[in-house]
Chains A and B, each alone.
Chain A
Amino acid sequence: MKSFFATTGRSLVLIAGLCALWLLLSGYWNYATLVAFGVFSVGLTLWFADRADVVDREGVPTSIFPRIIPYMSWLFLEIGKANIQVAREVLKKDIKLAPKLIKVPAPQPSDLTRTIFANSVTLTPGTVTVDVREDSLLIHALDESFADVPAICEMGDKATRLEAKGDR
């Protein structure tokens, strides 16, 4: 229970998030019994989360808000562009690919931002993170044109900047 009070701020964020999720998914706003069950389930989840010790910097990543929102919209555009490129490769009459394994530095100071970076790379079609190492990512690129190391590094820098310096 000690950690419960040490992480009050995060617990409150988790409570707010869980309540919002319950209300949005169920849609019951004015049935007292059902809302009480909702409150009970939120409490139970919170207790489990506290017991499993996941109410921390990574389990409830408050540090990346609100910067994650412009990042996600930028990522959406990138995904769209890359998808069209891959689709074009698929529809070519003769498939002439030059796949490549590249090593991209991942200097992110925290595991959270490195995970976001690796997942963003995977989410963009044409590049898949094959291995995550201490300070670099091993990425499989579908073709030479996808193996654009500076562009991938820029994505990594954006992921790094999701966390402000004070939050680490």
Chain B
Amino acid sequence: MLLILDILSFLLLAAGGAFVLIGAVGVLRFPDFYTRMHAAGVTDTLGADLILLGLLLQVPDVMTAVKILLIIFFLLMTSPVATHSVAHAAYAGREAPLTGKLLLREHVPLSPEAEREKELQR
């Protein structure tokens, strides 16, 4: 039984580590800021969660398990907020995303004032 738990937790930890690595490789390979952010997302969702689940199978007592579950919960609550604020900062700073198959910078975000005027005209 212990052996099965060990093997399972080994597999989860290895998979989590692999996903963290994939996220890092993605950050290096993807073409622009916004696409790189998606690669970073792999690291802080599946990568971190699999590693924590792997650790969950190694806990000595219930208290530690509860703490690991709380870490997963708080990670799940806070990481999208951080990702969104980084993305929104780039958007508000008028960083144009590469779009389409040709990766053109077509959709240059408008300044907030121009945006508001456009909304009013509609």
Question: What residues of chain A have their CB less than 8 Å away from a CB belonging to chain B?
Answer: 24-25, 27, 72, 79-80, 83, 86-87, 89-91, 95-101, 118-120, 122-123, 125-131, 138, 140, 142
Contacts and interface: CB of A to CB of B under 8 A. Distances in A.
Contact of A95 (B30, B83, B107): B30
Contacts of B55: none
Interface of B is mostly: helix
Contact of B84 (A24, A86, A89, A118): A118
A90 B25 contact: yes
A80 B67 contact: no
Most buried by B among A90, A91, A120, A130: A90
9 contacts: A25-B70, A86-B38, A89-B26, A90-B26, A99-B100, A123-B41, A125-B42, A130-B90, A140-B34
Contacts of B101: 96, 98
Range, interface on chain B: 35 or more
B59 interface: no
Interface of B: 19, 22-23, 25-26, 29-32, 34-35, 37-39, 41-42, 45-46, 63, 66-67, 70, 76, 79-81, 83-84, 87-88, 90-91, 97-101, 103, 107
Given A83-B46, A86-B42, A90-B26, 10 more contacts: A24-B67, A87-B26, A90-B42, A122-B41, A122-B84, A125-B41, A126-B41, A128-B38, A140-B97, A142-B38
